[in-house]
Amino acid sequence: MKDKLTSNAQAVLEVVRTANNHPTALEIYETVREQRPRIGVATVYRILHNLVEQGHVKEINTSEESCRYDGRISRHDHAICTVCGALIDVPVDVKVSEAILQAAAQASGITLSSHEVRLYGLCPSCQAKHK
Amino acid sequence: MKDKLTSNAQAVLEVVRTANNHPTALEIYETVREQRPRIGVATVYRILHNLVEQGHVKEINTSEESCRYDGRISRHDHAICTVCGALIDVPVDVKVSEAILQAAAQASGITLSSHEVRLYGLCPSCQAKHK
DNA sequence: ATGGGTGCAAATCCTTTGCATCTGC
DNA sequence: GCAGATGCAAAGGATTTGCACCCAT
C-alpha cells in the first residue's frame, strides 16, 4: 500500500489534502494545473483512482448525477460493496441516538431532515471470489 | 404532493417499485421500454426527477462516478444539503453501537469494514434563502 | 533499454435541452 | 384549444481509452 508516488501523484494528493471543500476530479485537475500546466485530465483521473485504491484518499458520492433509485421511501440504511458496488438494503434499522443526530446537525450548521447509515464492506458474492 | 401521475409516470413508478436491485435511470428506461417501446430516455429522466421531488421514489448515490474526493481518510460523517448538494464534514463523531452495526452487517450478508452516517437537510446558505 | 507514467485527442457514457408534436381535459 | 407531457435528436459534461512519447531506473 505504500507504493511510492510519482511527482504528479504527490501534487494531486497535496491538492486533495489541502482542499477544504471536497473537490471533484475536475476541480482537482484545475488546481493541480496551476502548478503543472502540462498535466492532462486523464492523468488526474488515473492518479485519483490509484490514490483511492491505495487508501490515501476517499471518494464520497453526493447526490448529483449517476444515482440509483429506490422505491422504498421509508427510512432505511444501505450496505455497499466496496468491490463491485452492489447496493443492498439493510433489513434492520440501524439506530442512531436522536440527541447525537441533533448535536451533529447543529455542529454542521444544517437543519436535519433525515439521515442514513451506510455500511461498507464485501458483499456475499465478492466474498466468495475471496482473493 | 399527490399530483396525479401520467400513465408513463405510473409505468416508471411501477418499475422502480417492483425492482429489487436499485436500478439506474437507464436500467429503468430499458425495463419500461418493454411495455412502452416508444418512450424516450429524456422522458424517463424527467419522470424520475418528478417522482423524487414528489417523494414517491428516493435516489441513492453509489460509488460509481461523479464523486468528490476527501483527503481526510479517518472515519467521519457527512452532512449533505438536499437543495444545493453541499457536502459538509460533520465535526463530531456520530456514534453508532458496534453491536448494532455488526447485526446490520450480518443481516445484510456483508462483511463490514467501515461505515458512515449521512445527515440530510438544508445547509446554512440554503436556509438563508429560506423559502 | 525497458516499463510504467503521461499528455493529447478521440471515444464513451450518462444526462439534459430544444423543439415540434401529441394528449388529456 | 391549451398547458403540460412526450419523443427525438442534438448538445453538454464527465470520465475513460488508445496511443505514442518521455522519464526514471
**SS3 state of residue A106:** helix
Higher-pLDDT residue of B73 and B33 is B33
Higher-pLDDT residue of B9 and B21 is B9
Point out the least confidently predicted range of A1-5, B38-42, B105-109.
A1-5
By CB neighbour count within 10 A (0-12 exposed, 13-18 middle, 19+ buried), where does A100 fall?
middle
Does the pLDDT value for residue A65 go beyond 50?
no
Orientation of helix B7-18 relative to helix B25-35, angle to 10°: 120
C-alpha cell of residue B10: 405510473
Report the pLDDT value the prediction gives residue B64, as an integer from 0 to 100: 46
Report the pLDDT value the prediction gives residue B126, as an integer from 0 to 100: 83
Handedness of CA A17, B79, B62, B95 (dihedral sign): positive
Report the pLDDT value the prediction gives residue B44, as an integer from 0 to 100: 94
Question: Average pLDDT of A28-47?
Answer: 94
For residue B36, name the pLDDT band (cuts at 50, 70, 90): very high
- Any atom of strand D under 7 A from CB of B33? no
Report the pLDDT value the prediction gives residue B71, as an integer from 0 to 100: 60
For residue B74, name the pLDDT band (cuts at 50, 70, 90): confident
Nucleotides of D under 7 A from a protein CB: 5-10, 14-18
Find residues 10-69 of chain B whose CB sits inside 8 Å of chain A.
13, 16-19, 21-25, 28, 48, 51-52, 55-69
Question: Average pLDDT of A2-23?
Answer: 86
> Residues A67-126: pLDDT tens digits?
466 656 577 888 888 777 677 888 888 988 889 999 999 998 999 988 989 998 888 888
* DSSP annotation of A3: P
Percent of all residues in chain B with a pLDDT value above 70, rounded to a whole number: 84
| Best A13, A56, A61, A69 residue to mutate vs chain B (most B CBs within 10 Å) | A69
**Contact call for A56 and B73, based on CB within 8 A:** yes
- Any atom of strand C under 7 A from CB of A69? no
Question: Average pLDDT of B17-26?
Answer: 84
Point out the least confidently predicted range of A1-5, A78-82, B4-8.
A1-5
| Rounded-to-integer distance, Cα A32 and Cα A39, Å | 8
Question: Average pLDDT of B103-119?
Answer: 91
Q: All domains of chain B, ordered by start, with CATH? A: 1-73 (1.10.10.10), 75-131 (3.30.1490.190)
Point out the least confidently predicted range of A31-35, A53-57, A74-78, A104-108.
A74-78
H or E stretch covering A68? strand A68-70
Report the pLDDT value the prediction gives residue A107, as an integer from 0 to 100: 92
Q: In the structure, how far is the CA atom of residue A50 from the C1' atom of nucleotide C19, in angstroms?
A: 44
